[in-house]
Amino acid sequence: MSEKLRFETYEAPAGGWGAAKATAKILLEQSVAVKGSQALLKMNHPDGFKCPSCAWPNPDREKKLEFCENGAKALAVEATRKRASRAFFAQYSVSELMTQSDYWLEEQGRLTEPMRYDPATDHYVPVSWGDAYKLIAAELNALESPDQAEFYTSGRTSNEAAFLYSVFVREFGTNNFPDCSNMCHEPTSRGLPMSIGIGKGTVVIGDFAKAEAIFIIGQNTGTNSPRMMSELVNARKRNAPIVAVNPMPERALIRFTEPQDVLEMATFGSTPISNEFVHVKIGGDAAFLKGIMKVLFERHAVGEVVLDEAFIRDHTHGFEALKADIENTAWDDIIRVSGIAEEQIRRCADVYIASNATIICFGMGVTQHQQGARVIQQIVNLLLLRGNFGKPGAGICPVRGHSNVQGDRTVGIDEKPSEAYLDQLENVFGFKPPRRHGHHVVESVRAMIDGTAKVFIGMGGNFIHAIPDTKAAYEAMSRLNLTVGIATKLNRGHLVHGKQALILPVIARSEIDRQASGEQFVTIEDAMSNVTASRGVLEPASPDLRSEIEIVCGMARATLPESVVPWDSFIADYNLIRDKIAAVYPDLFSGFNERIKAPGGFHLSNPPRERKWNTETGRANFLLFPGLDENKPVGGAEMFRLSTVRSHDQYNTTIYSNSDRYRGVYDGRMVLFMNEDDMRACNIASRALVALETIANDGMARRVEGLTVYPYQMPRGSLAGYYPELNRLLPLGHHDEISGTPAAKSIPVRIVV
Ligand SMILES: Nc1nc2c(c(=O)[nH]1)N[C@H]1C(S)=C(S)[C@@H](COP(=O)(O)OP(=O)(O)OC[C@H]3O[C@@H](n4cnc5c(=O)[nH]c(N)nc54)[C@H](O)[C@@H]3O)O[C@H]1N2
Ligand SMILES: Nc1nc2c(c(=O)[nH]1)N[C@H]1C(S)=C(S)[C@@H](COP(=O)(O)OP(=O)(O)OC[C@H]3O[C@@H](n4cnc5c(=O)[nH]c(N)nc54)[C@H](O)[C@@H]3O)O[C@H]1N2
Ligand SMILES: [Mo]
């Protein structure tokens, strides 16, 4: 066991004073107590900026403050006084930096000017913006085919920057758009259209106040979308039941104190959250969902009115096939695979049947499996059976991650663009976009491993530590001709670099963006399809930063001297970019610049809310899930399923501290959460040090050493540990069948003592 690592069960409710204390602590650590607190007042306000942390929308009721502990942390590390300046890069060689932890790298603070890798000295050295663009242009134009370049996007990028990036890359000639969404909600984006004709959620925030029941499947709400807790607290206060489905008994899903509720804070009160906590096995959700549907069909068979038959008749397709499939699924198998007793499944079915308007929310615990997209389709089936679309208080709610991951997709970051969209792009801009589909994340990594990819450009994010198979990915990235990281902070992706490498520092979301026509704002789309403006309020961390928009235009001008796109005008006035977005997507964005003036922005059209289904059948489709297994069986009795999750103190690959308060872990992240009966069966003592090995049939050995075993309420056969440390165990080929999303929540492993 590492010297400092310790465990201490967290007994208090989540949120509350613990959250208030943690907020103050991070502002102090980053030396931004005053500046940060002032900026927090502007966060998620109509005249301020959108929180860079998660994609949860603003509430529709008046609230003075709209931020949470983790939003405050995200802001504090962005507004930090610390700087990774040229002096810092002169002090450390890249090889020296490689020996530091990810935590240490980000702790060096904000990047201040563009840097180029100098192989002669193994240091990053300053480079002018002009020379940086020239280098990118030279490398891109030297490729035999535009398809040898990979253009990554992470979901913090604004609509305007993402749109221009997609125009630049398509004019350059490829659809290679690996995107953070490919590792996240891609099973939603690909699976939902087959069911309901749109790859987005169908609820709006106001539906939460009208829901009669809320299900939360595979999502750690209190940590990853803390502002959503207000909706859950309110639901419980008006007696709407909540069912949480999770292999980890996440603290906030059990009991929560709203940190902004003065009375609850003063009285040390709290609200119980889940009426039913469903302690499902990893990968057991499809079985659980089928179990609830089985109860519905049983009761329907004996004449009870538990289905919305008019809705099923008028709006759906495939009912009989679903009924047959569910009736042929045996209770024994449902119980074995889900790990849930029949009694509890029946109680959850009762909750569902008693509710006339149900919302089902889900997160990475659902998407990151080999059948993630098909599990989502089972969630839809369950909702369709009681007509839970197109009525107030009901619908499906994929809880998106990055604050603009949904918007980036809407405005063109898509490796499989539709023909209609490409035609429109051609009409509006007058160049011929490439028609062949490009690479998603897993395909782009394969291309790097094969040696066909030569250039990687990362618009934000930390690709190298977000993707599977860390070791193979390091080797592949190092072989590239050029790697470019467009970033606010230093991360591993800048150190595992190609023969040439650039780090291009950007103005952050919370900072003022001044251009020729004055201060600019950008827009984002939250997880419920609201498009809102975001205006920075802080001075940029350095005068040498550029906006993401300027950088895209700079790369485009240098790379495409004959371009037909007016790049310079876009830099001067972001309204002109929004006009082009409106021209390319008239159905969604016509009148963009006018509509965005409304304080709460505007809502993008969502056909299922009106019971309109843009599917091949013209109806909502009941789709089948073959069997019950979300993951292919590999290995025998020694096999465990490992879920890689976020701690309370990280934002994806950015680690705020090495502790995970609600799960009782302090000062260490090399932890393995394990069931005590499993520990006894394997003869493993509490705090023992173990290694994990991946069970895979691809001839590659993957092993991580030095994990401390922490006896925890995990279902038997299910293990959990932290992302990104355990990504080296995740095989590139282990992904969702429909969408290609890495199955990071169900890695088959064996424990080595
Ligand atoms: N503070 C903070 N906020 C964030 C992020 C962050 O890192 N930090 N990341 C952002 C991003 S990009 C995203 S995508 C979201 C991620 O937010 P979440 O979707 O909450 O993601 P995770 O923390 O990876 O894990 C989700 C939950 O799934 C559970 N789980 C694991 N396996 C299974 C399973 O088989 N079935 C079920 N039912 N549950 C399972 C885990 O126990 C965990 O509670 O949050 C966003 N917001
Ligand atoms: N094993 C495992 N792997 C996973 C997951 C998992 O649950 N388990 N989750 C997956 C998911 S859901 C996601 S979304 C991905 C996340 O993958 P990414 O989005 O690639 O990763 P982040 O850690 O969010 O990226 C952090 C970096 O973004 C840069 N940055 C921050 N703000 C800005 C900005 O405003 N502009 C620019 N240009 N750069 C900025 C900073 O340099 C920072 O270092 O990881 C995936 N990988
Ligand atoms: Mo994500």
CA of 370 relative to ligand 1 center, distance in Å: 16
> Is residue 32 pLDDT above 90, yes or no?
no
- Smallest CA separation from ligand 2 atom 32, residue: 488
Verify whether ligand 1 is closer than 6 Å to residue 652 (CB atom): yes
- Say yes or no: 572 and 700 in one domain: no
Residue 615 belongs to some domain of the structure: no
Our measurement of the distance from residue 314's CA atom to the centroid of its chain's CA atoms, rounded to an integer in Å, reads: 35
Residue 600 belongs to some domain of the structure: no
Residue 691 belongs to some domain of the structure: yes
> Is residue 748 pLDDT above 60, yes or no?
yes
> Is residue 3 pLDDT above 80, yes or no?
no
CA distance 180 to 404: 11
* Ligand 2 atom, smallest distance to 645 CA: 7
What is the span of the domain harbouring residue 699? 640-752
381-385's contacts with Cβ under 8 Å and 24+ in sequence apart are: 381/195, 381/289, 381/293, 381/322, 381/622, 381/623, 382/289, 382/292, 382/293, 382/352, 383/358, 384/311, 384/312, 384/315, 384/316, 384/620, 384/622, 385/293, 385/296, 385/307, 385/308, 385/312
Residue whose CB lies within 8 A of the most ligand 2 atoms, among 652, 669, 692, 736, for a mutation test = 652
Residue 601 belongs to some domain of the structure: no
- Say yes or no: 252 and 351 in one domain: yes
Residue 1 belongs to some domain of the structure: no
Joined tokens for residue 16: 């509350």
For the CA atoms of 637, 703, 708, 741, what is the dihedral angle to 10 degrees? -80
Given 47, 64, 79, the domain boundary residue is 79
pLDDT at 65: 67
> Is residue 541 pLDDT above 50, yes or no?
yes
- Burial status of residue 9 (CB atoms within 10 A of its CB: 0-12, 13-18, 19 or more): exposed
Decide if 673 contacts 642 (C-beta within 8 A): no
pLDDT at 63: 62
Residue 99 DSSP label: T
Our measurement of the distance from residue 17's CA atom to the centroid of its chain's CA atoms, rounded to an integer in Å, reads: 27
| Residues 36-59, mean pLDDT to the nearest whole number | 82
pLDDT band at 259 (very low <50, low <70, confident <90, very high): confident
> Is residue 1 pLDDT above 50, yes or no?
no
531-534's contacts with Cβ under 8 Å and 24+ in sequence apart are: 531/159, 531/407, 531/589, 531/595, 531/596, 531/601, 531/602, 531/603, 531/604, 532/46, 532/50, 532/58, 532/596, 532/600, 532/601, 533/46, 533/596, 533/601, 534/48, 534/49, 534/50, 534/158, 534/509
Residue 137 belongs to some domain of the structure: yes
pLDDT band at 7 (very low <50, low <70, confident <90, very high): very high
User: Model confidence over 76-133: pLDDT tens digits?
Assistant: 889 899 999 999 999 999 999 999 999 999 999 999 999 999 999 999 999 999 999 9
CA of 373 relative to ligand 3 center, distance in Å: 15
Q: List all residues 6 or more positions away from 677 whose beta carbon is below 8 Å from its beta carbon.
A: 716
- Say yes or no: 417 and 495 in one domain: yes
Q: For residue 215, list its beta bridge partners.
A: 243, 360
Model's pTM, two decimal places? Answer: 0.96
Percentage of the chain lying above the pLDDT 70 cut: 99
Name the residue with tokens 């990235």: 477
Verify whether ligand 1 is closer than 6 Å to residue 401 (CB atom): yes
Verify whether ligand 2 is closer than 6 Å to residue 653 (CB atom): yes
CA of 54 relative to ligand 1 center, distance in Å: 12
- Say yes or no: 381 and 299 in one domain: yes
Verify whether ligand 1 is closer than 6 Å to residue 54 (CB atom): yes
Kindly identify the ligand whose nearest atom is closest to the C-alpha of 398: 1
- Say yes or no: 482 and 367 in one domain: no
Residue 256, helix vs strand vs coil:
strand
How many other C-beta atoms can be found within 10 angstroms of the C-beta atom of residue 610?
10
Residue whose CB lies within 8 A of the most ligand 1 atoms, among 26, 54, 337, 379, for a mutation test = 54
Average predicted confidence (pLDDT) for the chain: 94
* Ligand 2 atom, smallest distance to 730 CA: 1
State the pairing for strand pair 455-459/149-153.
parallel
CA of 672 relative to ligand 1 center, distance in Å: 17
Kindly identify the ligand whose nearest atom is closest to the C-alpha of 224: 1
CA distance 694 to 639: 9
CA of 554 relative to ligand 2 center, distance in Å: 24
Give the C-alpha distances (Å, rounded to integers) separating 412 from 163, 196, 409. 6, 21, 6
| Residues 167-171, mean pLDDT to the nearest whole number | 98
CATH number of the domain within which 219 lies: 3.40.228.10
The one-letter amino acid at 254: I
Q: List all residues 6 or more positions away from 149 whose beta carbon is below 8 Å from its beta carbon.
A: 140, 143, 172, 174, 176, 453, 454, 455, 456, 457
- Say yes or no: 164 and 230 in one domain: no
- Say yes or no: 426 and 307 in one domain: no
Given 352, 375, 403, the domain boundary residue is 403
- Say yes or no: 534 and 559 in one domain: yes
Residue 101 belongs to some domain of the structure: yes
pLDDT at 2: 54
* Ligand 2 atom, smallest distance to 155 CA: 19
- 3-state SS record for 289-350: HHHHHHHHHHHHHCCCCCCCHHHHHHHEECHHHHHHHHHCCCHHHHHHHHCCCHHHHHHHHH
CATH number of the domain within which 747 lies: 2.40.40.20
> Is residue 216 pLDDT above 50, yes or no?
yes
Joined tokens for residue 362: 């889900």
* Ligand 2 atom, smallest distance to 490 CA: 42
Verify whether ligand 2 is closer than 6 Å to residue 463 (CB atom): yes
CA of 431 relative to ligand 2 center, distance in Å: 32
pLDDT at 68: 81
> Is residue 268 pLDDT above 60, yes or no?
yes
- Say yes or no: 191 and 310 in one domain: yes
| Residues 599-620, mean pLDDT to the nearest whole number | 95
**Peptide bond preceding 226 in cis form (omega within 30 of 0):** no
Give the C-alpha distances (Å, rounded to integers) separating 168 from 103, 146, 431, 554, 692. 33, 12, 11, 10, 43
Q: Which of 15-29, 70-84, 192-206, 616-630 has the lowest mean pLDDT?
A: 15-29
User: Model confidence over 657-668: pLDDT tens digits?
Assistant: 899 999 999 999
CATH number of the domain within which 426 lies: 3.40.50.740
- Say yes or no: 341 and 485 in one domain: no
| Residues 560-567, mean pLDDT to the nearest whole number | 97
CA distance 660 to 251: 11
The one-letter amino acid at 564: V
Residue 555, helix vs strand vs coil:
helix
- Say yes or no: 548 and 647 in one domain: no
Decide if 237 contacts 30 (C-beta within 8 A): no
CA distance 286 to 349: 14
Residue 663 belongs to some domain of the structure: yes
Verify whether ligand 2 is closer than 6 Å to residue 182 (CB atom): no
Verify whether ligand 1 is closer than 6 Å to residue 246 (CB atom): yes
Verify whether ligand 1 is closer than 6 Å to residue 472 (CB atom): no
* Angle at the Cα of 154 from the Cα atoms of 129 and 49, rounded to 5 degrees: 85
CA distance 382 to 401: 24
CA distance 4 to 665: 11
| Residues 17-31, mean pLDDT to the nearest whole number | 81
- Say yes or no: 202 and 286 in one domain: yes
CA of 364 relative to ligand 3 center, distance in Å: 8
How many other C-beta atoms can be found within 10 angstroms of the C-beta atom of residue 53?
27
CA distance 91 to 93: 7
Decide if 41 contacts 280 (C-beta within 8 A): no
CA distance 442 to 473: 11
Given 79, 110, 131, the domain boundary residue is 79
Number of domains comprising the chain: 4
Verify whether ligand 1 is closer than 6 Å to residue 280 (CB atom): yes
- Burial status of residue 583 (CB atoms within 10 A of its CB: 0-12, 13-18, 19 or more): middle
* Ligand 1 atom, smallest distance to 362 CA: 19
> Is residue 62 pLDDT above 80, yes or no?
no
